Structure 1
Amino acid sequence: MSTTHSPPVAPVLHVTMGTHSRAADADPRMDEIDIYRLPTTDLTDVRGLIIGAGSDQIFLERHRELLDGFVRAGGRIAVMGHAVTDFLTGLGVWRKLAYTGPKDLWISIGEPHPIWEGVDPDDLSVRKGVTGFYARGYADKIPADAIVTTRIGRHALPLDYIYPLGDGQVLVHGGNDLTNYANDPNTSARMTPQLLDWLVQR
């Protein structure tokens, strides 16, 4: 018989492989939770989930009904990393980008969205003097009603996208967690608080 854990205090859960108590997650609106505790956690008061990059997607696929139900009921999920299994309705497919130089990895802003408001794409394109930190792939087979909020490379291929699912919404970012940029000394640091602003909305 499974045991339901006490409801989290924060309205956003960052789902990770183990908990790390990272400084980037210090915002009181967000708690970390180990992925394997998710199915037995009461999500009644949770408004948003961040599925961390590197999460066990086979496990998530086994609990697709839980994730779908959360979003369809009005919740929001931000999927980080390379989506390679169909663990949520509407997920596109991550494709590795064939790149030969910085221009192939350069980020451009697509359709306006509050998460990227005020973010300079140059700050996403180059981090610590290196291109490719933000993403090295693109999204394929995305839903027809998705909005593409960032693009990558000289051909402006879809990268970040957001689509509706029931009464909720899903964000997919094909790279490392956006929360990793929380302490960067430039405009990319805006993404973490703005992501949380978006996730807590109903």
Structure 2
Amino acid sequence: MFLYDMTIDRLAPYGALIVPNNIDEEFLYQHRDSIAQFLEQGRIVVSFAQLFLPWLPGNSLWIRSSLDTNARTILAHDEHPLFRGVTEYDLNYRRGVKGFFSRGYFEAPAHAEIALWDNSGQTVVYIDRHTTRGTILAGAGTDLLAYGLSDTTTARRMGQQLLAWIDREYNFVFTTSIRS
């Protein structure tokens, strides 16, 4: 589905919506009610955008890290299913150069699960299961689907692990919301 064809009716067949980093946020802002409705139906929104408009429920706007790229390190919980088997080096370096993965952060909503953070404790990726009846995975300009896809490093795992996580999350959220 193309972005400009998005309506709540057209979103109905989908369990998840993946929003890439370079997206027309003004359009999403105009359709923020449809996105909120989609989430209230127990669906999933995965956003890699550096939000400058409040279209995603519960999200703060993107904040540029005050740390220099060379001083900033991205950290993940080794056991998190999104980052299992991905080394810290491969999160932070691509072909020997540091800083491609994330240059900013979010202030995570209350009760959000922090999946990725930087060495100053700022949230880079969070999972929010409380703001809506659905699930929001928001990365501060981090593209878990495509980062490392063309490399042979451990970062290549993130895309496949993200898709598997979406499938598990949707089945959990959907079956839980039906019972409620």
State TM-score, norm by structure 1.
0.75
Question: 1:101 Cα deviation (Å)?
Answer: 4.9
8 Å contact kept, 1:49–1:199: no
8 Å contact kept, 2:94–2:100: yes
Question: What does the per-residue CA deviation read over 1:133-164, in whole Å, with 9 as the maximum and x for residues that have no partner?
Answer: 01011112x211111111113x1321111101
Tell which deviates more after alignment, 42-51 or 143-152. 42-51
What residue number does 1:107 align with?
74
Change in CA separation of 1:149 and 1:112 when aligned onto 2, cut-off 3 Å? farther
Question: 1:56 Cα deviation (Å)?
Answer: 1.1
Question: 1:93 Cα deviation (Å)?
Answer: 2.0
Change in CA separation of 1:111 and 1:139 when aligned onto 2, cut-off 3 Å? farther
Amino acid at match of 1:39: T
What residue number does 1:54 align with?
22
1:86-165, aligned counterparts within 5 Å? 86-104=54-72, 106-110=73-77, 112-140=79-107, 142-153=108-119, 155-164=120-129, 165=131
1:1-202, aligned counterparts within 5 Å? 33-39=1-7, 42-104=10-72, 106-110=73-77, 112-140=79-107, 142-153=108-119, 155-164=120-129, 165-181=131-147, 182-200=149-167, 201-202=170-171
Give me the whole-angstrom Cα distance separating, in 1, the residues matched to 2:152 and 2:111. 34
Calculate percent identity across the aligned residue pairs.
29
Give me the whole-angstrom Cα distance separating, in 1, the residues matched to 2:88 and 2:45. 23
Give me the whole-angstrom Cα distance separating, in 1, the residues matched to 2:145 and 2:52. 21
Give me the whole-angstrom Cα distance separating, in 2, the residues matched to 1:167 and 1:61. 20
Tell which deviates more after alignment, 108-117 or 69-78. 108-117
Question: 1:99 Cα deviation (Å)?
Answer: 2.8
Give me the whole-angstrom Cα distance separating, in 1, the residues matched to 2:69 and 2:35. 37
Give me the whole-angstrom Cα distance separating, in 1, the residues matched to 2:70 and 2:59. 27
SS in 2 for 1:172: strand
Change in CA separation of 1:109 and 1:176 when aligned onto 2, cut-off 3 Å? closer
Change in CA separation of 1:143 and 1:111 when aligned onto 2, cut-off 3 Å? farther
Change in CA separation of 1:52 and 1:70 when aligned onto 2, cut-off 3 Å? same
Give me the whole-angstrom Cα distance separating, in 2, the residues matched to 1:83 and 1:60. 10
Unaligned 5+ runs, structure 1:
1-32
8 Å contact kept, 2:78–2:84: no
Question: 1:113 Cα deviation (Å)?
Answer: 2.9
Question: What does the per-residue CA deviation read over 1:99-137, in whole Å, with 9 as the maximum and x for residues that have no partner?
Answer: 335232x11114853212222121011111111101011
What residue number does 1:14 align with?
none
State TM-score, norm by structure 2.
0.84
